[in-house]
C-alpha cells in the first residue's frame, strides 16, 4: 500500500534533542550502565508536601471539561503572585493558564501568522529554547535567530535588526534568565527591546519561566513591570515549583491578545485539568517552597563551580537558572565532549541542541541531588583526564 507521506513541515520540525537523549539513556541503562542525567531541565527534588496534598485532595466526585481561562481561584492566585513578585497589577482578563509554557509558546505564532500574512518573521535568540523555532515552522513562519556582539553574544538588540526585517516581524521572543546559558538582563535592556517592538508594532513575548530560580540579591525583572500593552509573558510552575509533570504555567499581558488566544485555545483543547488547576492555585500562592528550592540549587551550583574550576573548565558566571554553561576541554567541540561523557553514562546537552555558532559550549543542568552530583563528578574527572592525556 502506498501511504501518504509525513508532511515536510513535520519533518522540518523533527524530533526533540532531549527526547532522543532519553532513548539513548534507557538503552545504556538496559545494558547495565549507571547513568547521571544532567541534560534535562527537570529537577529531582521531591514536590512540596503543600502541593502534593492539594493535588491529593483535589479529585472532584464528578468531572466536567475544564474552562480554557481556568478557575477564578487560579486566576486570582496568579494575579496575586504577579503582584507580590513584580509589584504589577494584572487583571484577570490579562491572565490565561497554559498546560506548560512549552505548548503555550509552540501554539502562539498561530495567533498572529497564517498562510496569507505578510508579517511572518519571528525574532528570538540564536541560542534558543527549541519551541520558539518549531512553533514558527508549524505556521510556515520564518524564525531569525539573533546574536549580540562578541562581548555580549547573548544580549542581542532588536534595534540592530534591519528595518525591512522589523517591518515584516510578527513577534519577538526574549528569554531572560536565559536557557541554556543562565544569563539575565536588566529592566533597561527590556525597555530598549520594548521601544523597538512598539515602534514597529510587533508582539513582544518574554519567556520568564526561570524568574524564580535565581541566586543573587536581585531577582530577575519582568517585562510586565514596563507595560502590559503589546506584550505577553510566559511563566511556569515547572521550574518555580519543580512540577514539570503537572504541565502548568500561564501567559499574561495585553488583554486583547489574551482574549484572542483564549478563543483560539478553546479549539486546541489545552485547558488545565481541574485537579492540576487546584494544585497550581496552591503553588502560585506559596513562596516558601520556592525559596527552599533555591537553597538546594545554590548548594549544588557551588559544588559544580568548584568542580569546573578544579578541571579548569571555562564557564559563564551567571546568577539564575539551574544551568551552568561550560566550555569543552580545549580542542574539543561541545558535541565531542558530551559524547565522551555519555559513553560513561553522564548526560549533558551540547550547544548544538539550542542553535548554531556556539560549538565549543555545553549545558549542564544541576538537577540531581548533591550526592548523585558528587558521584557523577568522580566519573567525569576520569573521563576528562583521559581526554586530556589523549590530547597531549
Ligand X SMILES: Cc1ncc(COP(=O)(O)O)c(C=O)c1O
Determine, following the binding rule CB under 6 A, whether residue 209 of this chain makes contact with ligand X: yes
Cβ atoms of 210 and 321 within 8 Å: the answer is yes
Q: Is 146 helix (H, G, I), strand (E, B) or coil?
A: strand
Determine, following the binding rule CB under 6 A, whether residue 307 of this chain makes contact with ligand X: no
What dihedral angle (degrees, nearest 10) is formed by the CA atoms of 312, 317, 321, 322?
20
Given 3-state DSSP classes, what are the helix, strand and coil percentages for the chain, each rounded to the nearest 5?
45, 15, 40
Residue nearer to ligand X on the CB measure, 108 or 329: 108
From the CB of 209, what's the least distance to ligand X, in Å?
A: 4
Residue 44's CB: how many other CB atoms inside 10 A?
11
Residue nearer to ligand X on the CB measure, 286 or 375: 286
Question: x/- contact string, 174-203, with ligand X (CB under 6 A)?
Answer: -x---x------------------------
Q: Work out which of 36, 41, 107, 332 binds ligand X, going by CB under 6 A.
A: 41
Residue 120's CB: how many other CB atoms inside 10 A?
19
From the CB of 57, what's the least distance to ligand X, in Å?
A: 24
Q: Work out which of 36, 129, 176, 284 binds ligand X, going by CB under 6 A.
A: 129
d(CA 383, CA 142): 41
Residue nearer to ligand X on the CB measure, 321 or 342: 321
Q: Which among 223, 244, 282 is positioned nearest to 94, based on CA atoms?
A: 223
Residue nearer to ligand X on the CB measure, 329 or 366: 366
From the CB of 108, what's the least distance to ligand X, in Å?
A: 12
Segment 75 to 104, residues that bind ligand X, using CB under 6 A: 100-102
Segment 150 to 179, residues that bind ligand X, using CB under 6 A: 175, 179
Cβ atoms of 337 and 110 within 8 Å: the answer is no
From the CB of 203, what's the least distance to ligand X, in Å?
A: 17
From the CB of 354, what's the least distance to ligand X, in Å?
A: 10
Total site size for ligand X, rule CB under 6 A: 13
Strands 142-146 and 95-98, by their bridges, are unpaired
Q: Which residues pair with 96 in a beta bridge?
A: 251
d(CA 383, CA 386): 5
d(CA 22, CA 24): 5
The helix (H) or strand (E) run that includes residue 105 is helix 101-107
Determine, following the binding rule CB under 6 A, whether residue 228 of this chain makes contact with ligand X: no
Question: x/- contact string, 235-264, with ligand X (CB under 6 A)?
Answer: -x-x-----x----x---------------
Catalog residues that contact ligand X under the rule CB under 6 A: 41, 100-102, 129, 175, 179, 207, 209, 236, 238, 244, 249
Amino acid at each position: 500500500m502506498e501511504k501518504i507521506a509525513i508532511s515536510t513541515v513535520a519533518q522540518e520540525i523533527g524530533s526533540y534533542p532531549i527526547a532522543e537523549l532519553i532513548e539513548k539513556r534507557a538503552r545504556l541503562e538496559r545494558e547495565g550502565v549507571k547513568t547521571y542525567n544532567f541534560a534535562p531541565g527537570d529537577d529531582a527534588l521531591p514536590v512540596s508536601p503543600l502541593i502534593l496534598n492539594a493535588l491529593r485532595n483535589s479529585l472532584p466526585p464528578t468531572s466536567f471539561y475544564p474552562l480554557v481561562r481556568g478557575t477564578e481561584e487560579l486566576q486570582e492566585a496568579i494575579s496575586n503572585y504577579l503582584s507580590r513578585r513584580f509589584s504589577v497589577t494584572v487583571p484577570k482578563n490579562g491572565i490565561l493558564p497554559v498546560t506548560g509554557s512549552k505548548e503555550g509558546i509552540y501554539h502562539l505564532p498561530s495567533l498572529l501568522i497564517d498562510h496569507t500574512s505578510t508579517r511572518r518573521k519571528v525574532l528570538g535568540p540564536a541560542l534558543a529554547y527549541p519551541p520558539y523555532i518549531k512553533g514558527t515552522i508549524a505556521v510556515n513562519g520564518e524564525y531569525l535567530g539573533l546574536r549580540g556582539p562578541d562581548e555580549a553574544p547573548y544580549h542581542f538588540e532588536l534595534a540592530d535588526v534591519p528595518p525591512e526585517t522589523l517591518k515584516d516581524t510578527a513577534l519577538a521572543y526574549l528569554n531572560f534568565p536565559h536557557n541554556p546559558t543562565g544569563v539575565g538582563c536588566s529592566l533597561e535592556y527590556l525597555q530598549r527591546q520594548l521601544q523597538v517592538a512598539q515602534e514597529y508594532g510587533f508582539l513582544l513575548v518574554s519567556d520568564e519561566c526561570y524568574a524564580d530560580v535565581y541566586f543573587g540579591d536581585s531577582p530577575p525583572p519582568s517585562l510586565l513591570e514596563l507595560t502590559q500593552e503589546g506584550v505577553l509573558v510566559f511563566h511556569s510552575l515547572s521550574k518555580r515549583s519543580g512540577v514539570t509533570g503537572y504541565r502548568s504555567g500561564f501567559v499574561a499581558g495585553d488583554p486583547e491578545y489574551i482574549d484572542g488566544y483564549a478563543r483560539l485555545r478553546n479549539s486546541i483543547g489545552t485547558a488545565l485539568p481541574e485537579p492540576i488547576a487546584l494544585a497550581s492555585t496552591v503553588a502560585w500562592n506559596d513562596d516558601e517552597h520556592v525559596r527552599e528550592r533555591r537553597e538546594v540549587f545554590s548548594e549544588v551550583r557551588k559544588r559544580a563551580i568548584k568542580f569546573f574550576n578544579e578541571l579548569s573548565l571555562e564557564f559563564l558566571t551567571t546568577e539564575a537558572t539551574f544551568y551552568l554553561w561550560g566550555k569543552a576541554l580545549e580542542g574539543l567541540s561541545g558535541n565531542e565532549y558530551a559524547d565522551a561523557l555519555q559513553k560513561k553514562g553522564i548526560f549533558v546537552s551540547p550547544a548544538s541542541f539550542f542553535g548554531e555558532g556556539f560549538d565549543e559550549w555545553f549545558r549542564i543542568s544541576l538537577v540531581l541531588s548533591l550526592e548523585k552530583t558528587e558521584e557523577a563528578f568522580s566519573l567525569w574527572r576520569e573521563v576528562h583526564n583521559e581526554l586530556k592525556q589523549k590530547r597531549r
